[in-house]
Every structure is written in C-alpha cells, then in structure tokens.
Amino acid sequence: MRMNGPILVTGGTGYVGGRLIPRLLERGDSVRAMVRSPQKLLTRPWAHHPALEIVPGDALDQASFIKAGKGCATAYYLIHSMNAHKRRFAEADRRAAENMVACAERNGMHRIIYLGGLGDKDHASLSHHLRSRHEVEGILEKGRVPVTNLRAAMILGSGSASFEMLRYLVDRLPVMLTPRWLRTPCQPIAITNVLDYLVGCLSAPQTDGKTLDIGGPEILNYQDLINIYCRVAGLPKRVIISVPVLTPWLSAKWIHLVTPVPASIAQPLAEGLSIPVTCKDDAIREWVSVPLISCSEAIRTALKRIEQEQVDTCCFDGGGRLPPEWTICGDADYAGGTVMRRGYRIAFEGDALKVWAAIEAIGGRNGWYFAQPLWRLRGMLDRMAGGPGLMRGRRHSQKLRTGDALDFWRVAAHEPPRRLLLLSEMKAPGDALLEFRINAKSQGPVRLEMISRFLPKGLAGIAYWYGMLPIHDWLFKGILMQFARRFGIARSGDPETFPVETALECKL
C-alpha cells in the first residue's frame, strides 16, 4: 500500500533510521528525512535518490517539526535518548514526543509508527530509560492520530550498541566476571527483522492503534549469547564467573573500559538486561509475515558485514549537531572566547589524489602515522576520563563520510579530494578542530595543510593550549613528514608553521 505524500522519518542519522530509509526507497515510497544535521546524510549512497527529501529539523523545536511534516501522511518516530549522562533525558523525550503529536495533528497525518522497548512497565526494577520509552508510548497514544507501538529488546546487527558490546566483551575477555542478572531471559531480534516489521506495518492497517511486541525466534539470556558468539566466531568457550556486587552502574564502567561502547550508553543497556524482556504475545505475526532470523544467523551476518567493511550504520554515528556554532566563518569572539589557531604545511611533488588517499585513511587500525604510542596513551587517558578514546576506530578502513566517528574525533566535513575536518570529542578543557586541506594547482607542488583550532574553556583551556603547543608542533610536523615516508610521496621541503588567517576559514 502506497501512501499519499512522503513518509516522514525522524532519527534518520540513527542506527535504525539510517537503515530504514533505503528500505522504504527500495519499496518505491517517497521519504522525507528530518535530521538536525543534513550533512550527515548527504554522504550516504542513497542520499541523492529522487524520492528522498532531506530537511533540517529538531524534535525539541515544535515549529521546525511541524514544518518538516507538512504533507506527510505517515511518520516513523525513531527518536529517544540513550545517554545516561545527559540530565533530564526523560524530560527531553517527553517534550519531543509531544512535538511529534503536534506535528501529526497539525498536518493531518493518518498514523505514527514508534519503535520502543520491551519490558513490563509495572516491574519494580524497570530502568529509567525503559520507563521513559513507555511514557513516550503513552504520550503518542493520547493524540488523535493512531499510533503503532512496536516494542523490541536487544537488537543484533553490525554496528548496533548491543552487538558491539557483546562482540568486544567476548573477543577481549577469555574470563569474565559477570553480574547475576546475566541469566535474565531476553528475546533478541535481528536488525533485519526490526526493519521487516517497521516496513510491514505500512501494508497492515490492522496494526493501527496497537502495541505489539517484536522479537526473534529464541528466548535466551546473555550467557547464552556469549556462548553462541564464541561458537559462530570460532573462539574458545569463555569462563564466566557470576558475582553479586556488579550493579548496572559498575557494569557500565567496566564495559566502558573494555569496549568502545561508552558508559553513558552501556548503563541503560545493562539496566535493560536486569529484568525479563520477552514478547508477551506474537499478535503481529498474524498481520506481518516475517521469516525470523536466529541469533546465530544474526551474529554470523553481523560479523561478515564487519569483515567486509559493509556496516551501513553504527551506534557511534549519533553525535551533536554538525557543524558546531563556533566554527562558522569569521572571528569567534562572539562565541564567548577567542579561537586559538595554528597551521602546519608541507609541499609534495606528485599526485594530489595520492595525498588525499593518505588523509582519508588516517586513524583506526591505520594509526596516526607518527608517535602512535603517544596517541594510544592519550586515548587511554581519555577513556579513563569518560571519553571515547581510540577504541571506536573507524567504520571503514579507507573511506570516510560526514558524521563518522574516527577514534576520538567526529568527521564534521568531508569534501574529497581537498578537505577533511575533524571535531574532537575527547575530554579536554575546550573544543578542538583538526583540518586537513589540500591546495593543488595544475602545475607545481601539492601543498598539504593541517590547521588546529581550539576554543578554550576558562583559564584551564588557555593553559592547556599553550602548554601543549610545543608537543603539538612536534607531533603535527611529524605526521606531515610521515605522509611522505609511508606513502612514497616526494616532498619539496620540510614541514613549517604558518599563520591561519581568519578570512581564509571556510563556513561549514
């Protein structure tokens, strides 16, 4: 069944939304993706599909939400907070859900499809995040537009937070100290089946106004999943020792140190495992026929996608709005402080495309080309301070796109073959940008520039900038030298510093 007008998809840069949009386009639907940072979607392979419209909008800004939904008959609501460290996340979820209702009613929509979470809402140990999911359901149901609430537990797929947590724990720990609730029953579901149900509801009007549980074919516990992963990945069986003192908070801190999943996301995941999360009924199967995928097959597919570097979306894709406000052209004094700048450059002989390939491959398993032990040390310190560290790596070993996580950076701008802009997400007393820029003419050398920018926070930030300046001078010049050595590019001189003129800065 085709809709009149486009389908509104919120959360299009998220893990599920980024996979749902191409599914809908393949079906022949027209899609309008509302995102805070359109730049994050513009580099996706399907971004320029003729049936896709990407519009800016913020779920917390009712006016922009209503504007984005104009003319849409159906909306997918895929927005919720997974960050335990953000204050008042439940308040933000509540406000966003109310704006979704206003958008649907003002635009005369026919239905809303929401993806929430399993778990008995009356359970005494229900986590704050699952409680918020149920509250969002209630807010959406109070509106005049019919809502289909789909409830899922753990989602298994390449790049999902649940799968990444499982993968790194099992890969890195032959012996595990685990909480007792590791044996709590859950009903994981493959990301493919989640998408099957989300899309299938469009052709099943019987699902209107229903709250439906979706899950895979098996009811397991986390220890079962560990054993299944070992078998599929060809690893020896892990030794699991249950201890009573590991609370979800302590578990989250441990997960943060061992895996790329930050404690802010690990905590709600761990809390969600502490109560049974299984389907109470299979009513949806009467209206949406889906061949269910086993956990073994879901894990096997996810590992294959990772090995082939074919991860469509990742739990690390989410981040703040790009670009940050202080990066706009011109002097940044209006932003509450003066942006510190330092430029480094080197000239190469030869092909600019070869230099660009070296830039785009930086980080992750490829390393930072120079003083790698120092980068690892900085990553360890950042991880201990609660930052992402280097463990997130990169989605693909050779290709980047706007919005990608790159170690403790975020790709803020990606303009091949001339410019790459990275926004720091490490713990520091200020905000930092690192830009690579290629200046090449039809004749003459290829000039590669590295520009470091830092917006300090208070005296600590200023002291950090000037204290680290000698180290950064040595480090960044060393990286430029390694471009020549590692990639066989002839250079026309040694690296040098140069003043960064504000007038030359690009508006992102």
Whether 277 and 343 map to the same domain: the answer is no
Q: What does the angle CA 252 – CA 254 – CA 260 come to, to the nearest 5 degrees?
A: 80
Asked, for residue 334, whether it belongs to a domain, the answer is yes
CB 65 within 8 A of CB 103: yes
Structure tokens at 427: 């713990």
What's residue 406's pLDDT? 94
Give the residue among 172, 162, 180, 170 at the shortest CA–CA distance from 241: 180
Peptide bond into 323 cis (omega under 30): yes
Angle between helices 248-258 and 372-384 (to 10 degrees): 170
Helices 128-142, 263-272: crossing angle, 10 deg rounding: 80
Task: Give the Cα separation of 424 and 431 in Å (integer).
Answer: 7
CATH code of residue 477:
3.30.530.20
Q: Which H or E run includes 7?
A: strand 7-10
In a domain, 461, yes or no: yes
Identity of the amino acid at 401 = R
d(CA 311, CA 163): 12
Residue 430: which residues within 8 A CB-CB, separation 6 or more?
454, 455, 456, 457, 461, 464, 465
SS3 490: coil
Close Cβ partners of 331 (under 8 Å, ≥ 6 residues apart): 339, 502
**pLDDT of the residue at 283:** 93
Q: Is residue 188 part of a domain?
A: yes
Residues forming beta bridges with residue 115, ordered by sequence position? 150
Same domain, 76 and 217: yes
Residue 378 and residue 470 in one domain: yes
Question: In this predicted structure, what is the pLDDT of residue 3?
Answer: 55
Task: Note whether residue 1 is domain-resident.
Answer: no
Final residue in a domain of this structure, among 271, 291, 317: 317
> Are residue 449 and residue 482 in the same domain, yes or no?
yes
User: 85 is written with which tokens?
Assistant: 């460290």
- Assess if residue 117 is contained within a domain: yes
In this structure, the answer to whether residues 221 and 342 fall within a common structural domain is: no
Q: Are 296 and 231 in contact (CB under 8 A)?
A: yes
Same domain? For 285 and 360 the reply is: no
What tokens does 4 get?
């009149």
Q: Are 307 and 349 within one domain?
A: no
Cα–Cα distance for residue pair 436/453, rounded to 1 Å: 12
Q: Which residues are 421's β-sheet partners?
A: 413, 435
Tell me which H or E stretch contains 486: helix 458-487
Same domain for 367 and 482, yes or no, is yes
| Of the residues 272, 301, 317, the one at which a domain ends | 317
Find residue 346's DSSP bridge partners.
Answer: 448
Nearest alpha-carbon partner for 169 in 266, 83, 243, 81 = 266
Shared domain for 344 and 440, answered yes or no, is yes
Are 487 and 479 in contact, with CB atoms under 8 Å apart?
no
Domain extent for 215:
7-317
Count the Cβ atoms, other than its own, within 10 Å of residue 4: 10
Q: Are 455 and 337 in contact (CB under 8 A)?
A: yes
Do the domain assignments include residue 362?
yes
| pLDDT number for residue 502 | 59
Q: Max CA-CA distance within the chain?
A: 72
Write down the pLDDT at residue 85: 47
Taking alpha carbons only, the member of 93, 99, 101 closest to residue 136 is 93
Q: The domain spanning residue 150 has which CATH number?
A: 3.40.50.720
**End position of a domain, from candidates 295, 317, 339:** 317
Length of the chain: 508
For residue 462, tell me if it sits in a domain.
yes
Residues 308 and 333 in one domain: no
Whether residues 337 and 191 share a domain: the answer is no
Q: Burial level of 179, CB count in 10 A (0-12/13-18/19+)? A: buried
Residue whose C-alpha is closest to residue 220's, from 172, 260, 166, 261: 166
Q: What is the pLDDT of residue 87?
A: 53
Give me the tens of pLDDT residue by residue for the chain, a chain 508 residues long. 455 789 999 999 899 999 999 999 999 999 999 998 888 888 888 999 999 999 999 999 999 999 999 999 999 999 986 554 455 778 889 999 999 999 999 999 999 999 999 988 878 777 788 888 999 999 999 999 999 999 999 999 999 989 999 999 999 989 988 877 788 899 999 999 999 999 999 999 999 999 999 999 999 999 999 999 999 999 999 998 888 776 767 777 778 888 888 877 777 777 777 788 999 999 999 999 999 999 999 999 999 999 998 888 888 876 655 666 666 554 444 444 588 999 999 998 878 888 999 999 999 999 999 999 999 999 999 988 888 899 889 989 999 998 899 999 999 989 999 999 999 999 999 999 999 999 877 677 889 999 999 999 989 999 999 999 999 999 999 999 998 788 788 888 899 999 887 544 444 4
**Structurally, how many domains does the chain consist of?**
2
Q: What angle do CA 240, 246, 252 make, to 5 degrees?
A: 95
Answer positive or negative: Cα dihedral of 144, 146, 151, 152: negative
Task: For residue 403, give the DSSP letter.
Answer: T
> Does residue 2 lie within any of the structural domains?
no
pTM reported for the whole predicted model: 0.86
- Joined tokens for residue 438: 């290629």
Distances (CA, A) of 191 to 28, 313, 314, 421: 21, 11, 12, 31
Q: Compute the distance between CA of residue 16 and CA of residue 134 in angstroms, rounded to an integer.
A: 19
Could you write out the three-class secondary structure of 274-343?
A: CCCECCCCCHHHHCCCCCCCCHHHHHHHHHHHHHCCCCCCCHHHCCCCCCCHHHCCCCCHHHCCCCEEEE
- Are 373 and 430 part of one and the same domain? yes
